Amino acid sequence: MYKVSRQREWIYDYIQSHPDRHMSVEEIYEGLKAENREVSVATVYRNLKILQDENRIASLMLESGKQVFDKTCRPHDHLICTTCQKIFDLDMPYDRSIERKAEHQLHIPIESHSLVLYGTCADCLQKKGKV
């Protein structure tokens, strides 16, 4: 159905090559431009949708309503640092026991969950300690 396109691969590569960031549409658009890989905004929007549809990337909606993109579709939780606001993918095993526990309490089948932790990331913790 979808064909390969140069622009789509630029976008995909850009996300993969910044694994520690979770970027918004605008950040991706501006970032590519800065690398002399300018793509029109419309194309960025269209391709981010297609990449999600192909399960090559995932997206995460922040409480602010800003959508950011994740390099992987593998289920995992997130940490949002309440100091620097950075978003981290957690290596902590995605915990199905949370779902099993809820099933027992609610008596309904649970298929998946979304967990975001808010706290201070290791970097910020270290910086605070140094003051």
Partner DNA sequence: ATAAATGCAAACCTTTTGCACCCTA
Partner DNA sequence: TAGGGTGCAAAAGGTTTGCATTTAT
- Binding residues, by number, are 77, 81, 84, 113, 121, 124
57 vs 84: CA distance, rounded Å: 24
Candidate residues 5, 52, 59, 120; the one interacting with DNA per rule CB under 7 A: 5
Strand, helix or coil at 89? Answer: strand
Candidate residues 4, 36, 74, 114; the one interacting with a second copy per rule CB under 8 A: 114
Q: Using CB under 8 A as the criterion, what x/- string covers residues 55-94 for binding a second copy?
A: ------xxxxx-x-----------x--x-------x-x--
**Which pair of structure tokens corresponds to residue 67?**
């959508």
Residue pair 54/2 in contact (Cβ under 8 Å)? The answer is yes
Candidate residues 106, 129, 130, 131; the one interacting with a second copy per rule CB under 8 A: 106
Helices 25-34 and 41-53 meet at what angle, rounded to 10? 120
Candidate residues 13, 45, 95, 101; the one interacting with DNA per rule CB under 7 A: 45
End-to-end CA distance of the chain: 56
Q: Which is nearer to a second copy, 33 or 118 (CB)?
A: 118
67 vs 59: CA distance, rounded Å: 7
**Shortest Cβ 30–a second copy spacing (Å):** 20
Q: From the CB of residue 94, how many other CB atoms can be counted at a distance below 10 Å? A: 15
Q: Which is nearer to a second copy, 36 or 105 (CB)?
A: 105
Per CB under 7 A, residues contacting DNA are: 1-8, 25-26, 38-43, 45-47, 49-50, 65, 67
